[in-house]
Amino acid sequence: MIDPQSEMSVKNYNISILSGDGIGPEVMDEAIRVLDSVSGKHEFNLTLDNQLVGGIAIDEKSTPLPEETVKSCEESDAILFGSVGGPKWESLPPDQQPERGALLPLRKHFGLFANLRPSLCFPSLVGASPVRTDIIEGGFDVLCVRELTGGIYFGEPKSINEIDGEKTAIDTMVYRESEIERIAHVAFNAAKGRSNKLTSIDKANVLRNGILWRETVEKISQQYPEVTLDHLYVDNAAMQLIRRPKEFDVVLAPNLFGDILSDEMAMIAGSLGMLASASLGESKGDGLYFGMYEPSGGSAPDIAGQGIANPCAQILSASLMLRYSLGLNEAADSIDNAVRRTIDDGFRTGDIFTDEPNTIQVNTSEMGNKIIENLS
Ligand code: IPM
Ligand code: MG
């Protein structure tokens, strides 16, 4: 039940809901309906606190990340995030734009250094992928572990200034050994729980960062003898992921490379609209994490407001939240299975609709309804 007044015996969790812009609020509505239903079935209570973030916060509070929003997140067990940004705010000064002014500071503020992006291609969704069916026959399951609070996204100096009489942009890629070590541990542990295979991505043939990255991942690998480790340069990885996606299991990447490769993986799997993500901080010691959960895709302003967006990524992000921040694994399984069954039954939003037999095109809320019907 999502009800602040519920009985004391039912465990309660506080969740900050940051729907944001574009399709964010539409897909968030479906995730909340799914959470409401699953919490009733699995007997826990969520107290939801809706807060402004991104463009809508700029419009209403003159800042993309209002203090109340940060405070709500600080007091919550987890953050469920929609998406931010859109053409309306693109011409603002860089630091005031929704992405740089809200999303990146939230990641940094809460130390959410580990971004898990499961790229799961259901066998029944193979036809929605632009990749040839014989390459992805039977589907695949790759987990991208992306470093999220370091690298070229955050390194200093970062500026656009006049140098030698012309405008010059500077972004700096910085990785400390300890930053590489902690994300490597996340990736090795993830691989241990899967098929013991880890591919680490770098650009060690050009970047100093790549040399340290590779060296450090190698060093950490000695603590995980059961995991087979290999390394790929990022350009080669971009190619191999399309050529032979089924041969990958866990992919570990620095911030920028993980950003790029995870979009590629999403597309190979069928659509960005299917891909959830979890951004996690250090473990709280009980196997759980404070985290922010969001679809890997963006605010999709081109289809916002039409009620046709795919809510699966947001719903699957809610499932990751139950699993990693609240430890409610059965409820999370129930959501994952319901999404899978709904897809297997042939229901498709526009982004994953093909003219295959036995498929039915549905809108955002119809997809939500079908998933709710399939919850156990
Ligand atoms: C993502 C997004 C963000 C990123 C943008 C919106 C800043 O692309 O989460 O992958 O680059 O990290
Ligand atoms: Mg991205």
Residues 6+ apart with CB under 8 A from 211: 204
Whether residue 1 has pLDDT greater than 70: no
- Ion ligand 2, residue ranges at CB < 5 A: 259
pLDDT of residue 322: 98
For domain 130-269, the CATH superfamily is Isopropylmalate Dehydrogenase (3.40.718.10)
Collapsing DSSP states into helix, strand and coil, what is residue 66?
coil
Helix (H) or strand (E) holding 150: none
- Integer-rounded Cα Rg, in Å, for the chain is 20
CA 49 to ligand 1 centroid distance, Å: 24
What is the domain partition of the chain in residue ranges?
1-114+279-376, 130-269
pLDDT tens-digit profile of 171-211?
A: 999 999 999 999 999 999 999 999 999 999 999 999 999 99
DSSP string, 303-322: TTTTT-S--HHHHHHHHHHH
- Per CATH, 1-114+279-376 and 130-269 having the same topology is answered yes
pLDDT digits (tens, 9 = 90+) for 225-258: 999 999 999 999 999 999 999 999 999 999 999 9
Element (DSSP H or E) covering residue 112: none
Kindly state which CATH superfamily the domain 1-114+279-376 is placed in.
Isopropylmalate Dehydrogenase (3.40.718.10)
pLDDT at 287: 87
Nearest CA to ligand 1 atom 12: 259
Structure tokens at 316: 């699957």
Which pLDDT band holds residue 4 (cuts at 50, 70, 90)? low
Question: Ligand 1 centroid vs 244 CA: distance in angstroms?
Answer: 25
Residues annotated as catalytic (active site), given as ranges: 153, 203, 235, 259, 263
Ligand 1: residue of 103, 104, 153, 279 to mutate (most ligand atoms within 8 A of CB) is 103
In 51-196, which ranges are E strands? Answer: 78-83, 114-121, 140-147, 159-163, 166-170
Nearest ligand by distance to the CA of 294: 1
Ligand 1 atom nearest to CA at 294: 9
The SS3 assignment for 240 reads helix
Q: 357 C-alpha vs ligand 1 centroid, how far in Å?
A: 35
Q: CB 319: neighbour CB atoms within 10 A?
A: 28
Instruction: Kindly tell me if the per-residue pLDDT of 330 is higher than 70.
Output: yes
Instruction: Give the tens place of pLDDT for each residue, 68-108.
Output: 999 999 999 999 999 999 999 999 998 899 999 999 999 99
**Euclidean distance between CA atoms 296 and 212, whole angstroms:** 28
User: Among all ligands shown, which has an atom nearest to the Cα of 105?
Assistant: 1
DSSP 3-state of 279: strand
Show the ligand 1 pocket: residues with CB < 6 angstroms: 99, 103, 259, 296, 298
CA 260 to centroid of ligand 2, rounded, Å: 6
Q: What is the mean pLDDT of the chain?
A: 95
